[in-house]
Amino acid sequence: MFIIAEIAQAHEGSLGIAHSYIDALANAGVDAVKFQTHIAEAESSDFEPFRVKFSYEDETRFDYWKRMEFTLEQWQGLKTHCEEKGVEFISSPFSCAAVELLE
């Protein structure tokens, strides 16, 4: 059995929380952790009429995706952390730009 723990956006844009999840899940014995890679400019726009306020913290969905972004260096750090903990790093890209970043 291969167990994948879905972190997705549960880190709420906090790199520290993302790393904490890796530690906790590795200690729980999972085989892999899975994130989601979002790049706001590649997925959304402030000009989309359906991107309405949907949270207390973010005015629009674009703002939410922007808050969820990590830089290339931050993604590399998360992947390295996974490797150090002996778990596989997985992330679902949500745009062509995210695919390029993950590659």
Residue 49: inside a domain: no
Block mean pLDDT (10 aa), the chain, length 103: 95 95 98 95 74 74 87 97 98 94 92
Establish if 53 belongs to a structural domain: no
Give the pLDDT score at 58: 82
State how many domains the chain has: 1
Find the domain containing 75 and state its range: 4-39+70-102
Measured in degrees and rounded to the nearest 5, phi and psi for residue 33 equal -120, 145
13: left (phi over 0), alpha (psi -120 to 50) or beta: left
pLDDT at 59: 79
| 55 in a structural domain | no
Residue 21 falls within a domain, yes or no? yes
Q: Is residue 33 part of a domain?
A: yes
Please indicate, yes or no, if residue 52 is contained in any of the structural domains: no
For residue 64, tell me if it sits in a domain.
no
Give a yes or no: residue 65 inside a domain.
Answer: no
Buried b (16+ CB within 10 A) or exposed e, 8-27: eeebebeeeebbebbeebbe
